[in-house]
Structure 1
Amino acid sequence: MMMRRMRRMLQMILLLTEYVLVSSYQSNSTVKCERSDERKTVRVMAGESLYLPCPNTDCHTETENTSYEWFKYLERTEQVEQIGTEESERIHYHLSELYILWLTLNDTGRYITRWWYEEDKCDEYETDIVVYEEFNTDLLYRTLVEEKASQIHCPVCEYQQATFIWYKDFSLIPNQEAEALRIRNSSKESEGIYTCVCTWEHNGIKHNTSASRRLTIKDMSSIPPAFQLPVNNSIVITDVGTELILQCSVFFGRTVCDECFVHWERNKTRINAVNGYKQETRKQDGIMESFLTITKVSELDLRSEYRCRAEDSYKVYYVSVILKRKASMLPEILACVCTFLLVLVLSGIVKWFSLDLVLFLREIIVKLNRTEDGKLFDAYVIYQRNLEEKTDKTVSDFVNGSLVTVLESYCGFKLFIHGRDDLPGEDCMNMTESKIQLSRRLIIILTSGTSTISSAAYDLELGLHQALVQGETGVILIQLGQMKDYTHLPLGLQHLLCKNSPLLWRDGESSPSSRFWKRVRYRMPVASSHRKSSSKNGSLECQRLTV
C-alpha cells in the first residue's frame, strides 16, 4: 500500500513539473515571437555529445542585454517542455548554447530557441536533431564537389575550443589535428568520406562530436542540368485571390544523380511548410520536377521574386519567374466598342454616299478609257401620248420639263423625244427603228392612265425586242404615281419589271441632286461626247452636285 501511494505521489509530481514547464513556455503568450521560415537539421551519433549554438548568428553573438529560453517539442502530447540551465543536468543550456551530453535515441526531436532581444520582442528558431544508433549515409553533411580540392573544414565544433583528428574512409589520417584538413595535389584518388572528430571539455569532462562529409572531384566533362520549364525571367499572369501552380522541370541526364535537387525559393529563401504554400517534387527518367502551389495569390506574392533552384553534384543553377497581375479587359472592350461604332458609322456614310461616289468616279474613269460606239443618243424616251387630260399633262410636264431639264440641261445627256426631235413627213416606223438603234438606253415612262400603251405600241415593241432579244440596249423604267399592279402591261414589260423595279417619281422632285435623279443617272451611260456646246456648263454643274 505504501509503495502504491509513493508511486501516485511521484506521478503527481511529474505531472505538476510538466505543467510548470508548459506554463513557463506560455507565460509570455501575449507576445507573439517572430518565427523563422528556415529550420536547421543536425544529424549526430548516439553516445557522443552535442554542443549546439543558436542557429542565427546574431542570436549567438549578441548576448548582452538579452535573454534566452530553450524548449523541446513533444510530439506525443503536442506540447513543449522547457529545458533547464543546471549544468549538472544531461540536457541544459547556457545563454545561446544548448548542451546534450551522451546522446541517446530519445533525444531525437525538435528543439526551439527563444531569443528575447528586447523586453517585448523576440525571435524563435527551430532545430531538428536526429540521433542515429550507428553510422548511416544520412549522417553525411553536404557533399563537397571540387575541381581541385585544397582543404576540408570540420562542420562541427564552431565557436568552441577543441582538438581535432581526421579519418578518410574510417581510417586515421596521421598528423592531421587542425580544424581544416589540407589536401595536396588532389585527384580522383582523393575522393572518399572524410570524418572529423573534435574533442571538447565541459565541467572537466571530455566529450566527442564527429561529423562526416563526402568529397567528389568534379569531372569537367559533365553536362550541366537543363531547365525545360520555366524560361528564365518568364512572366506568369495571375490575379490576387486565385490559386497558382508554378512548375519547374529540370533534365539531369540518364545517369544516377544522388546529389541532385530541385525546389522553389521566394526572395532567395526556400519555401518550407509555410501556410498557403505547398511544394511537391517528382522524379522520372532523368527529369526532376518541383510544383509550387500558391493557394491564394496575395499582393506580397506579386512583389516577391520567385526562382527555381536546381542543384547537381557540382553547382547550383537558377531561373526566375515574375508574377504579374492580369490586365483589366476594360480598355480592350472600350476599344472594340469604339471600333465597332466607327465601322458602323463609316459603313452608313459609305452606303449613303456610295451612289454619289460611283457617279463621280465613273464620270472620270469611263471618259478616260472611252471609245466611241457610233451612237448618237444617250437615251430614247418612250411614253404614252393622247391620255386623259390630267394624266397627259403630268406626263408632258415630266418629259418636257423635269426630264429634259435635268438630263440634258444639267448633265449633258442627249435624248430623243417624239414630237420634239422627229422631222415632219419622215416615215414614222423607219425613224423609230433607226433612232432606237442609235440610242444607248431606253427610258420607258409608266403611268396608270390607260390600260395599254397604245400610242407608243410600236416604240415599245421594237424597244423591248432590242433589249430582251438582242440584248443591245439597257432599259430604265420610270413610274409616275402609284400603280396597283402591272397586269395590264405587255408581257415583255412585265418581265422587265420582275427583274428590275421601276424608279418612282413624285411630283415636285425636280432637283438634280435628289436621290431619284441620282439613281436615273446611275443607270444612264456617261454623257455623250456629241453634246451641244451650250450644255457643257450644265454638265459641270451636274458633276459638282454629285460631289
Structure 2
Amino acid sequence: MIKMMMMIILLIIESVLVSSYALHSTVGCEQQDGPFTLNVRAGESLRLPYHYDEFNNSYTWFRNLSRTMKLEQIGTEESQRVHHNKSTLYILHLTLNDTGTYITHWRHAENVCYEIETDIVVYENFSRDLLYGETSNSEMICPICENQPGSFIWYKDFTLIPNQSKRSVRIRNSSKESLGIYTCVCTWDHHGIKYNTSGSRELVIKEKTVRIPPQFRLPIKNSIVNTNIGAELLLNCSVLFGTEVCNQCFVHWEKNGIKLNEMKGYEEKYSKKGGFAQSLLNITAVSELDLQSEFRCTAMDEYEVIYVSVTLKREPSVLTVILVFIFIFTVLLLFAGTLRWFALDLVLFARKIFIKFYRTEDGKLYDAYVIYQRSGLDEETGQAVSEFVNGALLPVLESSCGYKLFIHGRDDLPGEDSANLIQTQIQLSRRLLIILSAEGVGGSAEAYDLQAGLHQTLVQGETPVIIIQLGLMQDYSHLPLGLQHLLRKRSALLWRGGEASLNSRFWKRVRYRMPAASATIRRSRASNTAAFHWQSLSV
C-alpha cells in the first residue's frame, strides 16, 4: 500500500513538472537563440553561466537526459553534483550519463519569460568534436572561463607549455612547427574546492589564394541537349573562379553571339556562391529557330573570356527509344546467355593459362578420394559402375586431365590398417568424389569410407564434395542422412552414359568442381591401367 502511494505521489510530481514546463515553454516563455551545443570531456567540471542576473531575474533549470518529454527539474542545493545558482549551471565531475538537453527559463517581469536550450554532449576521450574551431591568429585566447575568475595552464598537442599562465598565449613567427592543437585548462574555485575545465583550438596557417583560370563545371563543351518544339527548357551554366568569386567575374548566356538577358521568351538568373558563379537560362518555349542556333555560356574575369557551346536537338520519338531499348536489351540478353553457356569453358581456360598462380602447394597428396560401392551390387548395376569408373572416370580425370585419384584396391598397400588408411588418405585429398548408383553408394565394405568422408566434410568442413549420380533416381531416401543433407545443398552431377569426351558438358562440370590439375602429378593412361586391376563384383 505504501509503495503504491509513493508511486502515485511521484507520478503527480512528474506530471506537475512536465505540465509546468509545457506551460512555460508554449505559453509563457519565448524561445531565444538556439538550441546551442556544448561538447565537454568526462571527468572535468562545467560552469555554464547566462549573463542575465540584472533586474532581479528568477531562473528555473530543467534537464532531459533521454531526449523524451520526461523532464527533470534541477535543484539549487549546492551539495548536489548537478545544481544551479541563479543563472549559472554547475555540473561537477562530468560523466557520460550527463549527456542531454538542459533548459533554463528566466523571467525579468511578471509576464515576460525566455527559454534557452543547450545540448551538452560528454565525451569519454578526446575527440576533434571538442575543438572550439580553428584559428590562424598569432594570439590564442582560451575559449573557456570567459569573464570568470580562474587560473590557466596551456598545452600544445597535449604537452605542457612552460611558463604560460595567462588567459591567452602568443605564437610568434608562426610556422609549420607551430601548427597543432592548443589546449588551455582553467582551474576555478567553488566553495573551497578546485575544479578543472579545458578548451582546445587548432592552429592552422591559411594559404594565400592564387588566381586560377575560370573552369566550366556545367555545361560540357559542345554538349547536345534534347528537347521538343514548344517545350520549356532550363540550361545551367556553372563556373569555378577560385576559392572566392572575384568582383570582376561574370557568367552569361548568348544566342548566336547576342546576350539573352533582355530578349523576350528568355529569362536568365545570375548568382554567386563560394568560388562559383552560376547563370540559369530559362527558355519559355523552344522554337524551330532555337534548334538551328548556337547557345553559348560565356565566362569572364579580369584576364580572359572563355565560353562553351550547347546545341539543342529535337528529342527522338518514343518509338525510336523503344526500338533502341529492345535492341540493347536483346544484345545484353544474348551476351549474358553466351557468357552463362561458356562460363565453364572460360574458367577451365583460365586455369590452364594461369595454373602457376591458381594453384599453390597445400600439402595434399591426392586431388580426389573416390568412394563408390564395390560389392553387394546386382550384375547390371555392378557393370554400370565398373564401366563408369574404368571406362570414363579414370581415363578422363587421370589420363587426360592429369588428376591424381585415390582408389581402394589400387592405391592402398596390403596389410595396412584400413581405418587409419582411410582417415589419412581423406585428409590428404583435396576433394571427396562420391559415386551414387541405383542401390546406394557404399556396401558394408565401403561404409567406413563414406562415414569418414561425411565427417570430414560436414563436421570439420575441410574437404569439398563432388557427387556423381549414375542414372536417374526416384528419391534419395535410401541414402545416409548426411549424404541427403549434402544433396540438398548441392545437386549431384548426372551421368547419362556415352560422354567419354573430355570436352563434353558433363566432364566440364566435373573439372570445374575439381581443383586445378598440376603438371607435376600427371599420370599416363598406361601406368594407371597397369597399376589397377578391377576386382570382381559380386551380385
Q: Same fold (TM over 0.5)?
A: no
TM bracket (short chain): 0.3 to 0.5
Determine which structure has more spread, i.e. the larger CA radius of gyration.
1
Q: Please, what TM-score do these two structures have when normalized by structure 2?
A: 0.40
